[in-house]
């Protein structure tokens, strides 16, 4: 649920307002140029103002936005398919959500997302989320941290306006790791018409089990790492309506007619309490969620494999194959 530190020692705040030259140096992957032709420049809109960018003739594009939804300027990587700049095609979009204590660069710098998606006709959007649990928090002591608003109300329509996408239910998938896996399940349920496929890789699927352990974890980690002591769901008393709305196991009918993929590890490191607590809770919650889906007659795919709390590249490739089978094909 809470993941490895960001892949660079450069702090998020030092990156705010950073230059395109820094992006080209490799922090954001913007230097992955495949041709000399520049992409058509993206514009502002939907509450987002671009304050930094690295657009190029390659696959990985970087943007940083000023937005009233977030007090600092969040970043986004947009990974384009091979041939995007010359094909004229429209493409489906995967929103890929990072885990806690990470940022929008994690899938590029740590997980070789460029290589894992090579030759696939899909746009991959990887936004910042800090350790905000893909929520608009009950309280923040450091200014706005409305990640749900940023992702759903602002970024999603901005992507459709600036890239050749299918702006429709069958044109979008959402997936994530750990905290991002929870965010994917939450967004797919709360915003039913936005995503036809949802995938959770080692992501919590049950907020209330074990006396609300995941809610307590979300409150504690968001307070420490995103909200300056504020919390996502409220303390000492939760905002029960928000927990109900966000809890995947309480939203089972909202997963009808979607492709669903779940993955969890069965043998976390017994010496590493962090790994054990995370993946033990993930596995139990996913089993509870799968049981609820089965009772409702909702088809789903799942994998239980050895190991603990980490992003499994081989399972992501399997998942990606399934996504592309469900999404509208590029054309």
CB half-sphere exposure, 37, CA atoms < 13 A: 7
In a domain, 277, yes or no: yes
Of these residues, 98, 108, 194, 309, which one is catalytic?
309
In a domain, 259, yes or no: yes
Q: Where are the beta strands (DSSP E) in the chain?
A: 49-54, 60-66, 75-79, 93-97, 123-127, 172-177, 197-201, 259-265, 301-305
Residue range 298-310: average pLDDT? Answer: 97
Rounded Cα distance, 187 and 153, in Å: 12
Rounded Cα distance, 131 and 174, in Å: 18
Active-site residue flag, 44: no
In a domain, 16, yes or no: no
**Mean pLDDT for all residues in the chain:** 90
Q: Where are the beta strands (DSSP E) in 135-211?
A: 172-177, 197-201
- Residue 245 has a pLDDT of 97
In a domain, 3, yes or no: no
In a domain, 19, yes or no: no
Q: What is the H or E stretch that residue 322 is in?
A: helix 313-326
Q: What is the three-class DSSP state of 79?
A: strand
Confidence bin at 277 (pLDDT 50/70/90) = confident
Please tell me the pTM assigned to this model. Answer: 0.90
- Of all residues in the chain, the percent with pLDDT exceeding 90 is 85
Residue range 27-47: average pLDDT? Answer: 60
In a domain, 40, yes or no: no
Active-site residue flag, 309: yes
Structural domain for 246, as ranges: 48-326
Of 327, 328, 311, the residue nearest 113 (C-alpha) = 311
Of these residues, 73, 111, 128, 275, which one is catalytic?
275
Above 90 in pLDDT, residue 180? yes
Of these residues, 178, 197, 202, 206, which one is catalytic?
178
CB half-sphere exposure, 231, CA atoms < 13 A: 16
In a domain, 289, yes or no: yes
Active-site residue flag, 275: yes
What is the total count of domains within the chain?
A: 1
CATH number of residue 300's parent domain: 3.40.50.1820
In a domain, 132, yes or no: yes
């Amino acid at each position: 649920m809470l993941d490895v530190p960001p892949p660079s020692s450069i702090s998020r705040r030092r990156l705010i307002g950073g230059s395109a030259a820094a992006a080209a140096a490799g922090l954001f992957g913007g230097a992955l140029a495949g041709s000399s032709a520049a992409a058509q420049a993206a514009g502002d809109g939907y509450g987002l103002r671009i304050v930094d960018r690295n657009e190029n003739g390659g696959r990985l594009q970087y943007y940083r936005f000023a937005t009233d939804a977030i007090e600092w300027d969040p970043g986004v990587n947009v990974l384009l398919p091979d041939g995007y700049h010359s094909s004229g095609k429209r493409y489906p979009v995967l929103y890929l959500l990072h885990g806690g204590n990470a940022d929008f660069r994690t899938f590029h710098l740590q997980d070789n997302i460029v290589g894992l998606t090579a030759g696939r006709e899909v746009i991959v959007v990887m936004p910042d989320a800090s350790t905000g649990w893909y929520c608009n928090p009950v309280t923040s002591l450091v200014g706005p941290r409305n990640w749900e608003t940023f992702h759903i109300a602002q970024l999603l329509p901005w992507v459709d306006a600036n890239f050749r996408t299918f702006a429709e239910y069958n044109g979008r998938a959402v997936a994530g790791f750990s905290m991002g896996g929870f965010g994917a399940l939450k967004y797919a349920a709360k915003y039913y018409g936005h995503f036809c496929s949802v995938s959770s890789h080692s992501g919590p699927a049950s907020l209330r089990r074990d006396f609300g352990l995941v809610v307590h974890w979300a409150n504690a980690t968001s307070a420490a790492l995103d909200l300056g002591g504020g919390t996502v769901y409220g303390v000492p008393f939760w905002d029960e309506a928000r927990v109900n709305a966000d809890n995947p196991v309480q939203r089972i009918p909202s997963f009808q007619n979607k492709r669903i993929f779940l993955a969890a590890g069965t043998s976390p490191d017994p010496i590493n309490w962090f790994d054990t607590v995370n993946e033990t809770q993930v596995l139990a919650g996913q089993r509870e969620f799968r049981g609820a889906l089965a009772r409702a007659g909702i088809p789903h795919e799942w994998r239980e494999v050895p190991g603990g709390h980490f992003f499994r590249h081989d399972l992501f490739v399997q998942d990606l194959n399934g996504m592309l089978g469900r999404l509208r094909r590029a054309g």
